């Protein structure tokens, strides 16, 4: 498949690197030669220097052969124009990153289709949704529902009180067990565990399970659920505005923003939110505004370092749930080891959303969750594909890939060695980045 990415910003670069490892032809366009030079010399992709909204540049990148055109430049107007031109020049499908919530409304879909923009993504909205999910399931790090909630993928950081520590995985699996540990994140690395592996303190474990067995996992991991009613947000970013829109009525939000002008503007958008002007790093201010009574603290400033430190402070002051926005990809694995609850990264969210659209092209229905070095993918097994040929234990699956669970006729179930996958099953696959291309062979 030929994919053209316009804009070598952080989303574009991350996506290009990720996709270049697979059997995709990637062409990356940007104005800045310096940015492209390093990527061109070190990654298996092609770069074109030039303005992505210029006909000449797009023709040079042979946009007429493109299966997908992704515009992720900093300005939404340029993204939309680039997509319009690209689609008129013959790109099969286009996607633009936008900053305006209004564009995403279903009633405007027809308009964007008519100007050649097929898909829109708004990373801030994705981030806000992620935050809301995290607030609903406070004891997990990740929560991912598949097929209308029939199958759930969740991750938990395991502390000393967890019951499943230092046990071999095969001891945990009994005949009627209804969960599957599909991946473990330990230090900087994600592991696909086998029966002989053990879970250690500080690991983040990824479970797949059905909705009825959530409590079981919660008990095993020694976590308890907190109901969230009071939230403090630090940093009046666009994500904060979206959160205030999506938050259920029983959640009261207090927002701390350091810029006075901006605080006034925010007050216009956010009616039910109490806006405090001040520096969120100031502990006295936090105490004064009642941080001790808060159920959750969300740090969304532009600085990843500030967000991480602020969350640590909030934890010390007794806030149960903290969420930090960490935009530097390099910080994520370090931040995960610290005692911060959830980490939000717009780039990973945007990239995984785009990735999902890509898989959609090949398979009828697919979902995808991006972790920093692994992916969770939901795919439909096709008639006659390799994965339906034998029970799972006889498939000789690669070591960097595992099947988490499946949904058959609308019912979620856990996959064991004896499960024989049938055509049209929705299958949840965990795989490390190195194994992405192997999925295709199994399912097609």
Partner 1 sequence: MPKINFRVILKFIGLLLCLEAAFMLIPYLVALIYDEGDAMAFLLSILITAGTGGLLFYFTRNDRNEVGKRESYLIVTSIWFFFTLFGMLPFCLMPNPLSIADAFFETVSGLTTTGASIVPDVEALPHGILFWRSFTQFIGGMGIILLTIAILPILNHQGGLILFNSEVTGISHEKLKPKIGETSKKLWSVYVSLITILTLLLCLGPMTPFDAICHAFGAMATGGFSTKQASLNHWDSAYVDYVITIFTFIAGINFALVYRAITGDVKRLFSNEETRWYTFIVVGATLVVTAGLYVTGQNSSLEETLRVSLAQVVTVITSTGYTIGDYVAWGPFFTTVFLLLMFFGACAGSTCGGAKIDRLVVLAKNTRNEFYRVIHPNAILPVRVNGKAISHEVVSKILAFILVYVMVLIAGSTILTALGLSIEEAFGSTLSCLSNIGPGAGATGPTGNYAFIPDVGKWLLSFIMLIGRLELFTVLILFTRYFWKNS
CB of 217 to partner 1, least distance (A): 33
CA-to-CA distance for 49 and 267, rounded, in angstroms?
Answer: 42
Q: How far is the CB of 46 from partner 1 (least distance, A)?
A: 4
Complex with partner 1: residue 133 or 444, whichever CB lies closer:
444
- Length of the chain measured in residues: 444
In the complex with partner 1, which residue's Cβ is closer, 46 or 104?
46
Name the 3-class secondary structure at 410: coil
CA–CA dist 36, 48 (Å, integer): 8
For residue 433, which of 372, 380, 367, 387 has the smallest C-alpha distance? Answer: 372
Burial degree of 129 (CB within 10 A; 0-12, 13-18, 19+): middle
Given the complex with partner 1, which of 16 and 214 has the nearer CB atom?
Answer: 16
Least spacing, CB of residue 8 vs partner 1, in Å:
14
CB 246 within 8 A of CB 129: yes
CB of 336 to partner 1, least distance (A): 23
Nearer to partner 1, 50 or 412 (CB): 50
Nearest distance, CB of residue 439 and partner 1, angstroms = 17
Alpha-carbon distance of 66 to 92, in angstroms, equals 6
We find the least distance from the C-beta atom of residue 419 to partner 1, in angstroms, to be 29
Question: Is residue 297 classed as helix, strand or coil in its secondary structure?
Answer: strand
Task: Give the N- to C-terminal CA distance of the chain in Å, as an integer.
Answer: 15
Q: Alpha-carbon distance 397 to 402, whole Å?
A: 7
Q: How far apart are CA 155 and CA 145, in angstroms?
A: 12
Residue closer to partner 1 (CB basis): 43 or 246: 43
Nearer to partner 1, 133 or 434 (CB): 434
Cβ atoms of residues 4 and 25 within 8 Å: no
Q: At closest approach, how far in Å is the CB of 23 from partner 1?
A: 8
CB of residue 437 to partner 1, shortest distance in Å: 10
DSSP assignment of 142-167 equals EEEEETTTTEEEEEEE--TT-TTTT-
Residues making contact with partner 1 (CB under 8 A): 2, 20-21, 25-27, 40-46
> Is residue 23 within 8 Å of residue 47, measured between CB atoms?
no
Q: Which is nearer to partner 1, 198 or 433 (CB)?
A: 433
Please, where are the H alpha helices in 179-246? Answer: 214-220, 238-246
**Secondary structure class of 232 (helix, strand, coil):** strand
Distance of CA 203 to the CA centre of its chain: 19
CB of 433 to partner 1, least distance (A): 12
The pair phi, psi for residue 267, each rounded to 5°, is: -60, -30
Nearest residue (CB) to partner 1, 99 versus 433: 433
CA distances from 226 to 139, 184, 223, 296 (A): 8, 24, 10, 10
Residue whose tokens read 């939230």: 231
Smallest distance from partner 1 to CB 37, Å: 9
Our CB check for partner 1 shows the closer of 178 and 444 to be 444
Q: Which is nearer to partner 1, 16 or 300 (CB)?
A: 16
CA–CA separation, 427 and 418 (whole Å): 15
Is there a contact between 260 and 277 (Cβ–Cβ < 8 Å)? Answer: yes
Nearer to partner 1, 44 or 364 (CB): 44
CB of 362 vs partner 1, minimal distance in Å: 18
Q: Which residue in the block uniquely carries the two structure tokens 């030039």?
A: 50
Q: How far is the CB of 28 from partner 1 (least distance, A)?
A: 9
Residue placing its CB nearer to partner 1 in the complex, 40 or 76: 40
Give the count of beta carbons closer than 10 Å to the beta carbon of residue 91.
27
């Amino acid at each position: 498949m030929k994919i053209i990415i316009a804009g070598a910003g952080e989303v574009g670069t991350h996506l290009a690197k990720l996709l270049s490892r697979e059997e995709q032809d990637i062409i990356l366009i940007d104005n800045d030669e310096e940015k492209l030079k390093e990527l061109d010399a070190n990654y298996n992709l092609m770069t074109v220097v030039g303005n992505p909204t210029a006909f000449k540049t797009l023709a040079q990148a042979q946009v007429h052969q493109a299966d997908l055109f992704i515009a992720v430049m900093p300005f939404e107007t340029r993204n939309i124009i680039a997509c319009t031109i690209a689609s008129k020049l013959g790109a099969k499908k286009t996607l633009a990153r936008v900053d305006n919530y209004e564009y995403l409304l279903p009633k405007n879909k027809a308009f964007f289709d008519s100007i050649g923009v097929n898909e829109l993504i708004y990373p801030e909205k994705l981030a806000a949704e992620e935050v809301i999910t995290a607030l609903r399931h406070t004891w997990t790090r990740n929560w991912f529902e598949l097929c209308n909630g029939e199958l759930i993928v969740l991750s938990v950081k395991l502390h000393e009180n967890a019951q499943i520590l230092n046990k071999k995985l095969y001891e945990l699996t009994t005949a009627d067990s209804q969960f599957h540990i599909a991946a473990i994140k330990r230090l900087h690395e994600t592991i696909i565990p086998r029966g002989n592996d053990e879970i250690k303190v500080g690991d983040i474990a990824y479970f797949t399970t059905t909705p009825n067995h959530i409590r079981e996992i919660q008990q095993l991991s020694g976590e308890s659920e907190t109901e969230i009613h009071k939230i403090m947000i630090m940093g009046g970013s666009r994500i904060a505005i979206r959160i205030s829109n999506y938050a259920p009525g029983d959640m009261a939000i207090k927002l701390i923003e350091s810029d006075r002008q901006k605080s006034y503007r925010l007050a216009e958008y956010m009616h039910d939110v109490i806006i405090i002007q001040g520096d969120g790093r100031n502990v006295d201010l936090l105490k004064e505004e009642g941080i001790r009574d808060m159920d959750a603290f969300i740090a969304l400033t532009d600085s990843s370092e500030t967000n991480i430190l602020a969350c640590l402070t909030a934890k010390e002051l007794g806030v149960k749930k903290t969420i930090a926005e960490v935009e530097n990809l390099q910080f994520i694995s370090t931040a995960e080891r610290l005692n911060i609850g959830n980490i939000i990264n717009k780039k990973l969210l945007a990239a995984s959303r785009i990735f999902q659209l890509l898989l959609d092209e090949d398979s009828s229905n697919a979902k995808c969750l991006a972790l920093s070095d692994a992916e969770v993918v939901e795919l439909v097994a096709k008639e006659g594909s390799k994965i339906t040929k034998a029970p799972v234990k006889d498939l000789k699956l690669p070591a960097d890939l595992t099947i988490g669970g499946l949904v058959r006729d609308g019912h979620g179930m856990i996959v064991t060695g004896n499960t024989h996958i049938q055509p049209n099953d929705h299958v949840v696959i965990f795989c490390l980045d190195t194994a992405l291309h192997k999925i295709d062979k199994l399912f097609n």
